[in-house]
Structure 1
Amino acid sequence: MAPIPTPPAEPQDSPDGYVGLDAEQAERRARERGWSTVRALPPGAIITMEYRVGRLNFEVRDGRVVRAWKG
């Protein structure tokens, strides 16, 4: 029987620590900390809501992160 796949680990990192950072700086920091996907979105963007392990989402206004969340 094949082994049960193990989902990839998510970095032990709080999204709240990215709020207020410059968007480029926040993306660099997130990748350094192990996030496999970093997505920057404008306020009010229409997005799919599926949860993706290892993805960090940023809402960016005027070049700054105003909201950050996993998935």
Structure 2
Amino acid sequence: MAPLPKPPAEPADDLDSYVGLDGEAAERRARERGWTTVRSLPPGAIITMEYLGGRLNFTVQSGVVERCWKG
């Protein structure tokens, strides 16, 4: 039997620390901290709900991060 795939590791990170940051600065910080995929979205964006390990999502309005979550 083949081994089970190992999901990507997620950085130990305080997601609340991104809220209030400039969107571009938040994206840079996330990549520096090891997030493999960083996604910035406008408020109310329609997105798929599948969980992707190693992905960090931001809701950005007027250039400022309003919300941050994994997956």
Q: CA RMSD, aligned part only?
A: 0.9
Pair 1:39-2:39 in alignment: yes
Greater displacement, 39-48 / 3-12: 3-12
Alignment match, 1:22: 22
Give the drift of 1:6: 1.5
Q: How many residues align?
A: 71
Runs of at least 5 residues in structure 2 that lack an aligned partner in the other structure: none
Q: Provide the rounded CA distance (Å) in 1 between the counterparts of 2:36 and 2:3.
A: 24
Q: Provide the rounded CA distance (Å) in 2 between the counterparts of 1:33 and 1:54.
A: 11
Structure 1: 4+ residue segments shifted above 6 A: none
Alignment match, 1:13: 13
Percent identity reads 75
Q: Please report the TM-score for the alignment, with normalisation by the length of structure 2.
A: 0.94
Greater displacement, 27-36 / 12-21: 12-21
